[in-house]
Amino acid sequence: MLLTISTTYQPATDLGYLLHKNPARLQSIEVAGGEAHIFYPEASAERCTAALLLDLDPIGLVRGRSGSNGEGFALEQYVNDRPYVASSFLSAALSKAFGTAMNGTCKDKPDLPAQALPLAVKVAVVSAPGPDWPRRLFEPLGYEVEIETTPLDPTVPEWGDSRYYTLHLHHAGLRLQDVLTHLYVLLPVLDNDKHYYIGENEAEKLLHRGGDWLPQHPERGFITRRYLRYLAAYVNPTLARLMEGDEDLTETSPPDPLSRGEGAPEMPVAESSGSPSPRERGRGGEVNGEGDQRLSLHDQRLQQVAHEIYELGPKRVLDLGCGEGKLLRLLLRQSKIEYLLGMDVSHQALARAAQRLHLDEMPPRQRTRLDLIQGSLLYRDERLAGFDAAALVEVIEHLDENRLAALEAVVFGQARPAHVFVTTPNADYNQLFEKLNAGEFRHDDHRFEWSRAEFSAWAAGVAGRHGYQVRLVGMGEEVEGVGAPSQMAVFETTL
């Protein structure tokens, strides 16, 4: 992978002093995972570009690897994107190659590090959850962001773009130290790989580097969450896996909206249709757009799903991504349901569900009607076979979009319940949440929020690929032009 930093500061060759690397020489240093070469493709008084070429050794990476080996396909450890994608390895290399500059010291020209420079950075390539993510991470820091996409396969355009992007950043005037620090912290956040070990003190440095600017960053919740997950990856792989769906482990993320119901009286949801519109309602300091409305909106959704299930009268029902078990509690009341299985990736959520449902004190007959299991919807799971219906209430938007295909294969390809109910926020409605800026999500952990058209396209694709028919339903009060706050797809097998 290649990173270049260019400036037109005069004299541009001052970049060499700042980086402590002589523009006239090629230098190679040993870094975690391989070798880094530092050289200057151009070095004139007008314009100077420093390049860092990171040459990772894929075989070495496998040998130096710690922790879990079991995931993915057999050759994955040899055939993967690690040598080509900007990751924690690039951060480690940046820190080793340009550590002095990152610390803001320059022996020969001590005033230079404080100087704001016009800077252009190119990173080939980054892997990101979606093309908007580089913008969300770098624009708040004052960068102009350009993303070069690459088709997955130029001969098959309908496959769309790959998830690898060439990233161009421009800044009108910034200290070099800051640019290096931003790259150091944010590139691994974009990449989000969990598998390779880079050394523990590197991890501490990563957190330390964000100290100045991270607290103000609008995506700090996402950044710290990805960090914790990423650090957990080599401290404790099991913990890392659990964190895939856990919102409670970072301080900067808003409180889990679902836990807000704890101790609070249950909302009489059925009567809430006359509630004031989002505009009329006060919202107290919530990060997410649904604010204090969320409880009732969310309860409404659950009621509506429970009602649909009731109408259908299935015997065996799955609640996938069951969280604290609010839907399960409603479903337990339906006597036609003989068996309920709640699954979630988060142990913490499951523990709370067990508590809220009073699993310990349940009479034996009732107790046999319900099980809670830990598992991920991204991995094939035999335990999910043989059900009449499955609900995924506000779950899909917590997964990176590029993992939905895995979820689809698990739910619609393998588990194959006769009916599947999937709900997700309706992004068309977001404009009614005053606190949400355009493009923002209702919750910090949402990886995407779909318009009605996007959800409908996805649902139709899933149905077509797996032998289901689908109908779409608005959840909550409809508003003309934007639809209801949430949306549901009801799938029914046709095979």
In the range 306-365, which residues lie near ligand SAH by CB under 6 A? 321-323, 326-327, 344-346, 349
Tell me how far, at minimum, the Cβ of 350 lies from ligand SAH, in Å. 9
Alpha helices (H) in 154-216, listed in sequence order: 176-191, 200-209
Interface with ligand SAH includes 377 (CB under 6 A)? yes
Interface with ligand SAH includes 242 (CB under 6 A)? no
State the Cα–Cα distance between residues 473 and 426, nearest whole angstrom: 11
State the Cα–Cα distance between residues 346 and 239, nearest whole angstrom: 10
Interface with ligand SAH includes 52 (CB under 6 A)? no
Interface with ligand SAH includes 290 (CB under 6 A)? no
Radius of gyration of the chain (CA): 25
Give SS3 for 180: helix
Interface with ligand SAH includes 244 (CB under 6 A)? yes
Interface with ligand SAH includes 245 (CB under 6 A)? yes
Whose Cβ is closer to ligand SAH: residue 126's or residue 309's?
309
Take residue 475 and report the two structure tokens written for it: 């959840």
Whose Cβ is closer to ligand SAH: residue 326's or residue 419's?
326
Tell me how far, at minimum, the Cβ of 30 lies from ligand SAH, in Å. 38
DSSP 14-82: HHHHHHT--TT--EEEEETTEEEEEEEEEE-SS-EEEEEEEEE-HHHHHHT--S---SS-GGGGTSSST
Estimate to the nearest angstrom the gap between the alpha carbon of 237 and the chain centroid: 18
State the Cα–Cα distance between residues 312 and 197, nearest whole angstrom: 50
Specify whether the CB–CB gap between 60 and 34 falls below 8 A.
Answer: yes
Interface with ligand SAH includes 19 (CB under 6 A)? no
Tell me how far, at minimum, the Cβ of 378 lies from ligand SAH, in Å. 5
Interface with ligand SAH includes 398 (CB under 6 A)? yes
Whose Cβ is closer to ligand SAH: residue 49's or residue 376's?
376
Interface with ligand SAH includes 134 (CB under 6 A)? no
* Piece in contact with ligand SAH (CB under 6 A), picked from 14-22, 282-290, 388-396, 427-435: 388-396
Interface with ligand SAH includes 406 (CB under 6 A)? no
* Piece in contact with ligand SAH (CB under 6 A), picked from 329-337, 390-398, 457-465, 484-492: 390-398
Tell me how far, at minimum, the Cβ of 122 lies from ligand SAH, in Å. 34
Specify whether the CB–CB gap between 238 and 68 falls below 8 A.
Answer: no
Interface with ligand SAH includes 399 (CB under 6 A)? yes
Interface with ligand SAH includes 393 (CB under 6 A)? yes
DSSP 337-375: --EEEEEES-HHHHHHHHHHTTGGG--HHHHTTEEEEE-
Interface with ligand SAH includes 299 (CB under 6 A)? no
Interface with ligand SAH includes 376 (CB under 6 A)? yes
Interface with ligand SAH includes 378 (CB under 6 A)? yes
Tell me how far, at minimum, the Cβ of 229 lies from ligand SAH, in Å. 12
What distances in angstroms separate CA 316 from CA 157, 210, 360, one per listed residue? 42, 49, 22
- Axis crossing angle, helix 176-191 with helix 200-209, rounded to the nearest 10: 120
Residue (of 70, 102, 64) closest to 82 by Cα position: 64
- 423's enclosing H/E stretch is strand 419-425
Tell me how far, at minimum, the Cβ of 180 lies from ligand SAH, in Å. 34
Please give the residue ranges that form the binding site for ligand SAH (CB under 6 A): 244-245, 258, 321-323, 326-327, 344-346, 349, 376-378, 393-395, 398-399
